[in-house]
Amino acid sequence: MRWAGAWVVGMAVCVAATGAAAQVAGRDGAPPKPAAETKAKPAADAKQKSAAPPAAPAPNAASADVQVKTLLDRTAVWVADPVTYTVTLTCAPGIDVLDDDLSRDKVKLDGLEVTGTESARDAGPGGVTIRTFKYHLTSYHVDQRALTIAPMTARYYKKRPGQGIENAAPAGEIQIPGAVIAFRSMLPEDQETYALRDSRAASPRSRLMAAVQPIGTGLVLVAIVPALFWMIGVVRERRPKKERRSIRQVQQEERTSLEAVRAIDVTTPDGRREAYTKINTLVRDHLRDVCGVPGPSLTAAEVEPALAGRPTRVPAEAVTALLAACETARYAPPAALPAADACREAIEQAAQLLAAR
């Protein structure tokens, strides 16, 4: 009997537990799932996710190679106010943009005019290149409330060592955003025409002012003349004075130099070359000091026309021939140097020319 009573009590407990589970399932709207099935679902979801195809990579955006930044130094302008529109492009290593796409001709403006452009190239950290383009703008319109800069499109390419731009591989395009500048004016709005000039005639001057004008002009001139003379005197004092040598001093120096030339050993090629060099210097200095001709700065062919307008007895043809011989001897190879007798004859010709006045 005891075992029978315990069995009855156990069956009653099982029936009560089964009824409670049924009530819970009815309240939730779905029967409870076994624990084994609940644990297996995450594994199945993970398997399904791993079996799904990988997501397609993001397209190669221009910002990965070139980063664009624009800046306006002012957002509102008056008539003829200057404004600077700056475009900064940060290019990745090996990337550069086409300058032609960012020239002043490619900037589309409405109500604005380009007064100047600037461009710069700087090296940034990590091997990047920073390109800066500045557009200096202004506006002379009075009938437009907003001034606009249209967006631009610029191409960029990949650079390779030893390769020019014409052979570079194109990499893509970038969009440069535009800008809008507000316009301010002192003129009233919504007018068809603007009276920029006053049509009224100028008021006549009084008789006193008309009579005083010549007096004022004379006083101004009187005050300017002393100041002008004072400035001329100051300039003359500060100008260095050149000491002019006398004819006797020039003759003495020429004789000394000529004796030094005659003392040179002209039997050797180096001696003849040195002699012709000194003869060239002597004749040219004589043309400058005695004849008033810039001899040191003239060629042999220019000497004769320069002496044509000078009152001198120096034979122009002889001077031209002697200077040409000196030039040949100074710069000719050793095999083409004149002989020793020709060199001595040139020294005597120079002595005759130095004696002419």
Q: Cβ atoms within 10 A of the Cβ of 149, count?
A: 24
167 lies in the same domain as 260: no
Same domain, 75 and 179: yes
Range of the domain at 325: 247-355
Amino acid letter at 351?
Answer: A
Contacts of 194 (CB under 8 A, 6+ apart): 142, 187
Residue 172 forms part of a structural domain: yes
Among 163, 183, 203, the domain-final residue is 183
Q: What is the DSSP string of 195-211?
A: --S--SPPPPPPHHHHH
Residue 178 and residue 276 share a domain: no
Q: For 245-339, where are the alpha helices, taking DSSP H only?
A: 247-262, 269-289, 300-308, 316-331
The pLDDT value recorded for residue 61 is 38
If asked whether residues 254 and 173 sit together in one domain, one would say no
Residue where a domain terminates, one of 129, 155, 183: 183
| Shared domain check, 254 and 173 | no
The tokens of 145 are what? 């409330």
Rounded-to-integer distance, Cα 275 and Cα 266, Å: 7
- Given a contact cutoff of 8 angstroms between Cβ atoms, the answer to whether 132 and 99 are in contact is no
Bridge-based pairing of strands 129-138 and 113-123 is: antiparallel
Query: Are residues 259 and 175 both part of a single domain?
Result: no
178 and 256 both lie in a single domain: no
Does residue 309 surpass a pLDDT of 80?
Answer: no
Specify whether the CB–CB gap between 132 and 123 falls below 8 A. no
314 touches 304 (CB < 8 A): no
Instruction: Flag the least confident range among 50-59, 243-252, 303-312.
Output: 50-59
How far is residue 35 from each of residues 26, 39, 40, 55, 208, measured CA to CA in Å?
Answer: 19, 6, 9, 34, 119
Query: Environment class of residue 137 by beta-carbon count within 10 Å: exposed (0-12), middle (13-18) or buried (19+)?
Result: buried
Q: Are 113 and 138 spatial neighbours (Cβ–Cβ below 8 Å)? A: yes
Instruction: Kindly state whether residues 348 and 269 are assigned to the same domain.
Output: yes
Q: What is the CATH number of the domain that holds 80?
A: 2.60.40
252 and 179 in one domain? Answer: no
Residue 247: its pLDDT value, please? 78
Contact predicate 343/261, CB 8 Å: no
Pick 266 or 166 by higher pLDDT: 266
At 208, is the pLDDT very low, low, confident or very high (cuts 50, 70, 90)?
A: confident
Looking at 160, 183, 206, which one is the last position of a domain? 183
Number of domains in the chain: 2
State yes or no: pLDDT of 86 exceeds 60: yes
Question: Whose CA is closest to 317, among 353, 291, 345, 293?
Answer: 353
pLDDT band at 58 (very low <50, low <70, confident <90, very high): very low
What pLDDT is recorded for position 8? 44
State the DSSP H helix or E strand holding residue 121, giving kind and residue range, or none if neither: strand 113-123
Q: Is 131 exposed, middle or buried (0-12, 13-18, 19+ CB in 10 A)?
A: buried
| Confidence tier at 78 by pLDDT (50, 70, 90) | confident
pTM of the model: 0.38
Q: What is the pLDDT of residue 251?
A: 83
DSSP of 62-118:
GGGTEEEEEEES-SEE-TT--EEEEEEEEEPTTEEE-GGGGSGGG--EES-EEEEEE
For residue 235, what pLDDT is reported?
A: 85
Kindly state whether residue 220 falls inside one of the protein's structural domains: no
Distance, in Å, from the CA atom of 284 to the CA atom of 327, rounded to the nearest integer, reads 12
